[in-house]
């Protein structure tokens, strides 16, 4: 093709592009009837709007996972509108808990060339009133119902309870004085009325009873996960059950929800259970067929909440403790709930 012909073809192409562009910008079709929706939108794919002011209780505080500049901050969601607008605070947390005007926000930051971890103690105005350094990756946190104490678990080795050779440290914190009470490994433990002490002890998942002194937690030793009942003031604990991980005490203090490990054709995972403390009778929450790796939060005396991974981070689901009612999506784009009644 000669140079003159190539030039002609190029000019013609430009002219056709201009004509098409002109037609696109000057012609606007009249709107027709909307196409019928083929299915309802997935609530987890909807970005919740923001509330302009802090709502009144009852509400839940969560780690909000909206993909914008507020990602990771504490969000406050009215319980009456779980998928609706949320109030976004200034505090950013990896995990959080709150009760009776006192909260604990587990954070990570940079300390020179190393990553640092901190438990920030905050009040009802989300002002930080104290800081306690942590020795590893944040895992679990729970504030006592009276707000005066908290239990914090970190991974000092490993990043998952499914790993071999993980090591945890669980510290009790005085939220009023912003200091530590002690490491659970320093507590005297008994099993069947006898002293129980091994070099491989790992504690995690503290949950407090009303009053803030009695607590439950998981103690792992020799490949067994025990449920222990403890007394903070006495610095003592006793084994009360086996195969219990990440306990969570119900608001009426009568039951413990927990996860139990399984290994089958699906691989390794955890099922949710509820244990009646008075009778030690156990209910498997079999309506949830997915693996739940979480320390659940109680929505009320008949429902538990927990997070599951989603395409955009995580969502919080709720399920009845009757063991048969299917779970439902509750708080989209959220993690680590703390219910304030």
Q: DSSP letters of 124-153?
A: TT--EEEEEEESSEEEEEEE-TTSSEEEEE
Task: Measure the CA–CA gap between 297 and 285, rounded to whole angstroms.
Answer: 15
**For 248-280, how does the pLDDT look when each residue is reduced to its tens digit (9 = 90+)?**
999 999 999 999 999 998 899 999 999 999 999
Whether 152 is covered by a domain: the verdict is yes
Whether 33 is covered by a domain: the verdict is no
Q: What is the mean pLDDT of residues 31-38?
A: 35
Torsion of CA 35, 41, 45, 48, to 10 degrees: 100
Whether 1 is covered by a domain: the verdict is no
Domain ranges, residue 194: 110-242
Element (H, E) at 227: strand 224-231
Instruction: Please report which confidence band the pLDDT of residue 91 belongs to, taking 50, 70 and 90 as the band edges.
Output: very high
Q: Of 246, 255, 236, 148, whose CA–CA distance to 195 is shortest?
A: 236
Task: Measure the CA–CA gap between 271 and 165, rounded to whole angstroms.
Answer: 22
> What is the pLDDT, as a whole number, of residue 165?
65
Copy the structure tokens of residue 158.
């490993």
Task: Measure the CA–CA gap between 62 and 60, rounded to whole angstroms.
Answer: 6
Whether 121 is covered by a domain: the verdict is yes
Of 45 and 124, the structure prediction assigns the larger pLDDT to 124
Whether 195 is covered by a domain: the verdict is yes
**For 280-322, how does the pLDDT look when each residue is reduced to its tens digit (9 = 90+)?**
999 999 999 999 999 999 999 999 999 999 998 999 999 999 9
User: Is it the case that residue 16 has pLDDT exceeding 90?
Assistant: no
Whether 72 is covered by a domain: the verdict is no
Distances (CA, A) of 73 to 93, 261, 288, 297, 312: 6, 31, 28, 19, 16
What is the overall mean pLDDT for the chain? Answer: 88
> What is the pLDDT, as a whole number, of residue 113?
72
Identify the bridge partners of residue 97 per DSSP, sorted by sequence position. Answer: 104
User: Is it the case that residue 43 has pLDDT exceeding 70?
Assistant: no
Q: Of 160, 62, 142, 154, whose CA–CA distance to 115 is shortest?
A: 154
- Region of 161 (left: φ > 0; alpha: ψ -120 to 50; beta: rest) is alpha
Check: CB of residue 178 under 8 Å from CB of residue 130.
yes
Whether 203 is covered by a domain: the verdict is yes
Copy the structure tokens of residue 293.
């790796």
**For 119-176, how does the pLDDT look when each residue is reduced to its tens digit (9 = 90+)?**
999 999 999 999 999 999 999 999 999 999 999 999 997 656 655 667 999 999 999 9
Can you give the three-state secondary structure of 268-311, one letter per residue? EEEEEEEEECCCCCEEECCCCCCCCCCCCEEEECCEEEEEEEEC
User: Is it the case that residue 10 has pLDDT exceeding 50?
Assistant: no
How many domains does the structure of the chain reveal?
1
User: Is it the case that residue 93 has pLDDT exceeding 80?
Assistant: yes
> What is the pLDDT, as a whole number, of residue 47?
84
Is residue 337 classed as helix, strand or coil in its secondary structure? strand
> What is the pLDDT, as a whole number, of residue 8?
42
Whether 297 is covered by a domain: the verdict is no
pTM of the predicted structure, to 2 decimals: 0.85
- What strands lie across the sheet with 188-191, from one edge to the other? 194-195, 188-191, 236-242, 224-231, 214-221, 202-208
Task: Measure the CA–CA gap between 33 and 203, rounded to whole angstroms.
Answer: 61
Copy the structure tokens of residue 18.
């201009």
Residues composing the chain: 341
**For 198-224, how does the pLDDT look when each residue is reduced to its tens digit (9 = 90+)?**
999 999 999 999 999 999 999 999 999
User: Is it the case that residue 40 has pLDDT exceeding 70?
Assistant: no
Task: Measure the CA–CA gap between 5 and 271, rounded to whole angstroms.
Answer: 74
Is residue 53 classed as helix, strand or coil in its secondary structure? coil
């Amino acid at each position: 093709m000669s140079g003159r012909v190539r030039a002609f073809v190029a000019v013609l192409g430009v002219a056709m592009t201009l004509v098409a562009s002109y037609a696109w910008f000057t012609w606007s079709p009249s709107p027709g009837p909307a196409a019928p929706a083929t299915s309802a939108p997935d609530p987890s794919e909807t970005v919740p709007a923001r509330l302009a002011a802090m709502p009144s209780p009852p509400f839940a505080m969560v780690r909000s996972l909206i993909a914008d500049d507020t990602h990771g901050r504490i969000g406050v969601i009215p319980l009456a509108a779980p998928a609706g607008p949320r109030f976004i605070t200034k505090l950013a947390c990896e995990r959080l808990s709150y009760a009776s005007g006192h909260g604990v926000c587990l954070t990570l930051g940079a300390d020179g060339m190393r990553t640092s971890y901190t438990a920030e103690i905050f009040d009802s105005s989300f002002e930080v009133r104290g800081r306690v350094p942590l020795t590893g990756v944040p895992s679990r946190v729970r504030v006592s119902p009276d707000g005066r104490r908290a239990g914090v678990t970190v991974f000092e080795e490993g990043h998952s309870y499914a790993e071999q050779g993980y090591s945890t440290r669980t510290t009790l914190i005085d939220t009023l004085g912003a200091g530590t009470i002690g490491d659970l490994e320093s507590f005297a433990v008994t099993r069947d009325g006898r002293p129980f002490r091994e070099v491989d002890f790992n504690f995690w998942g503290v949950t407090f009873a009303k009053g803030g002194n009695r607590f439950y937690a998981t103690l792992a030793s020799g490949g067994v996960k025990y449920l222990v009942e403890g007394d903070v003031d006495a610095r003592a604990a006793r084994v009360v059950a086996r195969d219990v991980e990440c306990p969570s005490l119900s608001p009426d203090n009568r039951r413990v929800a927990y996860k139990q490990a399984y290994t089958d054709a699906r691989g390794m995972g955890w099922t949710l259970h509820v244990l009646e403390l008075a009778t030690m009778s156990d209910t498997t929450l079999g309506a949830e067929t997915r693996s739940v790796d979480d320390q659940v939060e109680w929505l009320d005396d008949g429902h538990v909440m927990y997070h599951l991974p989603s395409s955009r981070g995580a969502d919080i689901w709720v399920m009845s403790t009757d063991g048969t009612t299917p779970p439902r999506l509750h708080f989209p784009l959220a993690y680590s709930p703390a219910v304030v009644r």
